[in-house]
Amino acid sequence: MHEILTARVIATHGRHLVLADASGRELAARPFGRDLTVVCGDEVQYRIDAHHDEAHVLAVGPRHATLWRTNIRGGAEPVAANLTRLLVVLAPLPVPDLFVVDRYLAAATSVDLPATVVLNKADLDIPRQLHEQLDAYVAAQYGRVLCSADSGAGIDDLAALLPAGARACLVGQSGVGKSSLVKCLLPTAAVGIGALVREEEGRHTTTAARLFPLPTGAGLIDSPGVRDFAPALAALDERTLGFPEVARLAGACRFADCRHMREPDCAVRAAVDGGSLAPRRYESYRRLRRLREDLEPRRRGRH
């Protein structure tokens, strides 16, 4: 009988994994079975397959504060597990897709995961409209950090969010400088995932997620850049879809099941008309509502 051991998943690249055991030793691994989904931050049970010189992950431990996304079938897929904070990174360039930012924030809110909006490349010219959108996130009671991986400005503010025991995940569009921020916080980090993770189907290591231990005792996951993102539908509150502003206003709507779209006496739409709720944030809510309705039949069809 092979001994069953425990470890933390510190890198994922397709079905190739890297584990770190209690001593810090790193092991190449694969999930044992096609139905087992493993993500960065998971605690897993594994055994050594000496014949193939790798570890086989047999089971995933209980997850908490997990970032979930929706797949094309409307089902939920984990992105990173056992988090204490989500860091949603954007920059003046590439032009930010704030609807993607909103959806990451909604995903975090849906699992009570604190989230902070991080504007990297803050030494570049920041359009007035972007400043206004950042103010809207503060009004929604999300944290905000302005920093620059190039100049080092604001990096101390980012580091202050990562005390001992914290585990945060950097997410956002490609090109916003997530890996550069890792290098600022951990200058000795090799931001690739190294030889333990093998190339698969011609893909590059930039598609990998990696958990880095910081000197503070925190952990920081650098995740692949995205073009789009949708939070897991089943995790979203039916009335608010993870928008804190909507949650604060929904109790004043005429109908308890108000969707905040076209219903009469809707406090959310009244706040938009009155200027106390940012119109773009409301439009983002509307888009996510329509996406949820479009994908719901696919999700139900899977059951």
Q: Omega into 94 within 30° of 0, i.e. cis? A: yes
- pLDDT tens for the chain, 303 residues long, are 578 999 999 999 989 999 999 899 999 999 998 899 999 999 999 999 877 678 999 999 999 999 999 988 788 999 999 999 999 999 999 999 999 999 999 999 999 999 999 999 999 999 999 999 999 999 999 999 999 999 999 999 999 999 999 999 999 999 999 999 999 999 887 655 444 444 443 333 346 899 999 999 999 999 999 999 999 988 899 999 999 999 999 999 999 999 999 999 999 999 999 999 999 999 999 999 999 988 877 666 655
- Report pLDDT for 207: 63
Distance between CA 140 and CA 85 in Å, rounded? 17
- Report pLDDT for 193: 42
Pair 88, 117: CB distance under 8 Å: yes
Q: Is the pTM of this model over 0.85?
A: yes
Distance between CA 233 and CA 71 in Å, rounded? 10
- Report pLDDT for 196: 45
> CB-based contacts of 245: which residues, under 8 Å, 6+ apart?
139, 140, 268, 271, 277, 278, 281
Pair 143, 115: CB distance under 8 Å: yes
> CB-based contacts of 281: which residues, under 8 Å, 6+ apart?
102, 136, 140, 243, 245
Over its C-alpha atoms, the chain yields an Rg (Å, rounded) of 20
Distance between CA 60 and CA 42 in Å, rounded? 7
- Report pLDDT for 130: 97
